[in-house]
Structure 1
Amino acid sequence: MNGSGTATAKVPDSDQTMKLYYSGGDEHREGVGFMLSNRVVATIAAFQPVSSRIAVISVCGTVTVHILCIYAPTEMSPESVKDELYGQLQRVVDAIPQSELVLIAGDFHAHVDADRQGWERTLGRFGVEEVNDNGSRLLSFATTNKPVIGNSHVQHPREHQMTWRNPMGHDSTVLDYVLISSRFISSLKDVRAMRGPDCRSDHYLLRAVMQPRLKRTTSKSHRVPKLDWSSLITPPFQQLFQIALSNRFATLAMGTNANEEEEQMSDVVLECAKSLCPVIRCRTQPWISNECLQLVDKRKQAKLVNFNRYRQLNRGTPSTNENGEGGILEPSGRRT
């Protein structure tokens, strides 16, 4: 394909369709792309056709995943062409936040071996061929940017490591690689060549299996205190509460939608009630009395103002249970 863009492809002998994102040149040479199912298409955040050798697609999730498809020059290509590719690749990687997952896959025309000296953080124990110039460039790029060469971290028989076969003979080697951010290396479960699919290519299909171990993000929302609203039963408190509400609502700006206005009104009612209604304390044990909870509050305040006083209170807080029995609330939570 020439140029870049998207296209819809129908799966043979099926009603299903897939979407192709591609980035090609002006001639029928080179070109990279992604073939995605409709389920994955719904999660696409951006597609960036960098050149006929580099394309980037970003997938939304708990962690944004940036997948880079690469088609590197051959080993015999001029040095200037290789430098241009890795210069473009470096600029793309520099623009991606370090907290997001970067997955780089494609034909690097590179050979890497099992000699890890100097490449311990990048190269695993299962390299195959002797390092060539493209392999040195790949290792240098990985060392600088801290991705890991996934192929070299998974052990397979030699026939499942080879990604290319010579159309004129029986020679085969590894040219295609999958690189992943080092902090997500535990998510990479397998990388191997699939010899069964016939893609009318001298390359085997390279499959990478990932199982992301992502930490669930939790929003630190402010806990709303539980108030004793029964205090508003008495007429004096009712009058004070009504006056406070009237004053606050008089200066309240109207929201842009019903949900925003409802949230603002709830905040106003809660703030006005805080000054009139005491907070209902949660007692983890039935024998903890209100007096004991008040003493615990004093200890917390002393920690902010007078640390020596806090240490004195922390050695033992007197408490009484509901039956009026005295005791000491120890730091461990036991009553003696």
Structure 2
Amino acid sequence: MEKRASCGYLLPELWHNQRAQCFVVLGKVRQRVIGWLPINARISRLRIKGRFFSYSIINVHCPHEGRPDDEKESIYAQLEQVYDSCPQRDVKIVIGDMNAQVGRERMYRPVIGPNSLHAVSNDNGQRCVNIAASRGLVVRSAFFLRKDIHKATWRSPDQQTENQIDRVLIDGKFFSDIINVRTYCSANIDSDHYLVAVCMRTKLSTVYNTRRSRTPRTNTEQLRDTAVAMEYSQQLEAALPTEEQLGAATLEDGWRDIRTAIGCTAIAALGTTASNQRNDWFDGECKQLVEEKNAARAKMLQHRTELTWNDTDRLCATMCRDLEGNLLTNECEVVERWKQHYDEHLNGDAVVDGSGTTIDLGARAVDDRFPAPDLQEVEKEIRRLKNNKAAGIDNLPSELLKYGGDALVRALHWVIVKIW
């Protein structure tokens, strides 16, 4: 029934018809197509599945201004039938070459906007406005303030006349979903029509509804057993990189080896635990409390007064101390002291060459007042870690560090000194 070359949708008998309407769907959107209905050479419809609403996109090519009225009425009657056949909850969009010059007449608003390229609507433009008004549509392409070169959609064969005859209509309930419509006259599409781009704010459905597999949680409860904790510590000591290996490794490589050793040893010695099943704890009492909280917040917002800049506290340093410990209160002196402070800690060392030019060596300034922590300090802080806390991005609970033994303390001390 159809030809799908490079994800295109077109009837086989219309492959060589220059007026045939088709859709070209790219990327992952192909897997979201849930329906395609070819009507004739001038009208076709494509349905795309969305997360909240599906989208029915009707592509239409209306007769030009000089065609007989019967032919125009026939096409617009078919367009109305196709539009009415769309599911009621769908976001309905009509696009294509409608050969309709829509003006800026006030009597047609709000169906049309004030920024159309033309001042007066022609016969096709009036038919476009009539069908839009009867079906609750809005000519969205006439609402955006653009330069004329970004409004025109077709250039005549004499290369002098430009018209805006390609239209984008959308259901008025979803007026704000289209946030931009403009043409790109420089796009090489081998046509006398310009490329019309429509930017939409929408949410499409998920292509694959597969849940991400969760990382297994280490059974840290096993560490309460002294024998298991001792076995874990011994296995981890054998798995951790030696001091010689760490000395020859970079910070990233060394930490990767340490992290891998902790994770693999923990799974081998302690095993994993199943995730807890969720309980239906949100009962009527919880619902009542939430409603009371929302009511109290609404009351607070109702009586809240708007704060001005003069009423807010400004975070600014009004005083500080110099290197000798003297208190500085002058604003210029305070700013200069902060500049000196950050120059010392962030901008590195600087030297002055023979010509008097200051050269920044880029080296980090060493502050002897804050030496790197020793082994005992690292061990003390590890012992102070709390149990039953959520693990970080490395998926290493604090219990695995606390029961890792002296070898793990030395490895973590190497990491901290390396960073310091």
Cα distance in 1, alignment partners of residues 183 and 62 from structure 2: 19
- Which residue number corresponds to residue 79 of structure 1? 69
> What SS class does the counterpart of residue 76 from structure 2 fall into?
helix
Cα distance in 2, alignment partners of residues 86 and 281 from structure 1: 55
**Contact 1:6–1:20 (CA<8 Å) still a contact in 2?**
yes
When you count strand as a share of all residues, which structure comes out higher? 1
- Which residue number corresponds to residue 147 of structure 1? 137
CA deviation after TM superposition for structure 1 residue 97, in Å: 3.0
Indicate whether 1:181 and 2:171 are aligned: yes
- Which residue number corresponds to residue 133 of structure 1? 123
- Which residue number corresponds to residue 49 of structure 1? 38
CA deviation after TM superposition for structure 1 residue 135, in Å: 0.6
Report sequence identity in percent. 25
Cα distance in 2, alignment partners of residues 112 and 36 from structure 1: 29
**Contact 2:116–2:151 (CA<8 Å) still a contact in 1?**
no
**Contact 1:184–1:212 (CA<8 Å) still a contact in 2?**
no
CA deviation after TM superposition for structure 1 residue 197, in Å: 1.1
Structure 2 residue identity aligned to 1:182? G
Cα distance in 2, alignment partners of residues 111 and 167 from structure 1: 18
- Which residue number corresponds to residue 180 of structure 2? 190
Q: Whose radius of gyration is greater, 1 or 2? A: 2
**Contact 2:104–2:114 (CA<8 Å) still a contact in 1?**
yes
Q: Note the alpha carbon deviations across 1:195-234, whole angstroms, 9 max, x for none.
A: 12111111000000000379xxxxxxxxxxxxxxxxxxxx
> What SS class does the counterpart of residue 5 from structure 1 fall into?
coil
CA deviation after TM superposition for structure 1 residue 81, in Å: 1.1
Cα distance in 1, alignment partners of residues 40 and 71 from structure 2: 13
CA deviation after TM superposition for structure 1 residue 48, in Å: 0.3
- Taking the TM superposition and a 5 Å limit, the aligned residue runs for 1:187-336 are 187-212=177-202
With a CA cutoff of 8 Å and minimum separation of 6, indicate the structure with the bigger relative contact order: 2
CA deviation after TM superposition for structure 1 residue 8, in Å: 1.6
Please give the TM-score of this superposition, normalised by the length of structure 1: 0.58
> What SS class does the counterpart of residue 39 from structure 1 fall into?
helix
- The one of 146, 150, 170 aligned to 1:160: 150
Cα distance in 2, alignment partners of residues 99 and 201 from structure 1: 35
- Which residue number corresponds to residue 8 of structure 1? 5
Q: Note the alpha carbon deviations across 1:42-84, whole angstroms, 9 max, x for none.
A: 0011100011000000001120100111111111111111111
CA deviation after TM superposition for structure 1 residue 116, in Å: 2.4
Q: Note the alpha carbon deviations across 1:209-261, whole angstroms, 9 max, x for none.
A: 000379xxxxxxxxxxxxxxxxxxxxxxxxxxxxxxxxxxxxxxxxxxxxxxx
CA gap 1:202/1:26 in 2 versus in 1, 3 angstroms: closer
CA deviation after TM superposition for structure 1 residue 103, in Å: 0.9
Q: How many aligned residue pairs are there?
A: 211
- The one of 54, 57, 60 aligned to 1:64: 54
CA gap 1:54/1:125 in 2 versus in 1, 3 angstroms: same
When you count helix as a share of all residues, which structure comes out higher? 2
CA gap 1:282/1:162 in 2 versus in 1, 3 angstroms: closer
- Aligned-pair Cα RMSD in Å: 2.7
Structure 2 residue identity aligned to 1:7? R
**Contact 1:186–1:213 (CA<8 Å) still a contact in 2?**
no
**Contact 1:187–1:211 (CA<8 Å) still a contact in 2?**
yes
Cα distance in 1, alignment partners of residues 17 and 43 from structure 2: 16
Q: Note the alpha carbon deviations across 1:128-156, whole angstroms, 9 max, x for none.
A: 22211111100000000011101111110
Please give the TM-score of this superposition, normalised by the length of structure 2: 0.47
> What SS class does the counterpart of residue 57 from structure 1 fall into?
strand
- Which residue number corresponds to residue 21 of structure 1? 9
Q: Note the alpha carbon deviations across 1:148-182, whole angstroms, 9 max, x for none.
A: 10111111001100001122232111110110110
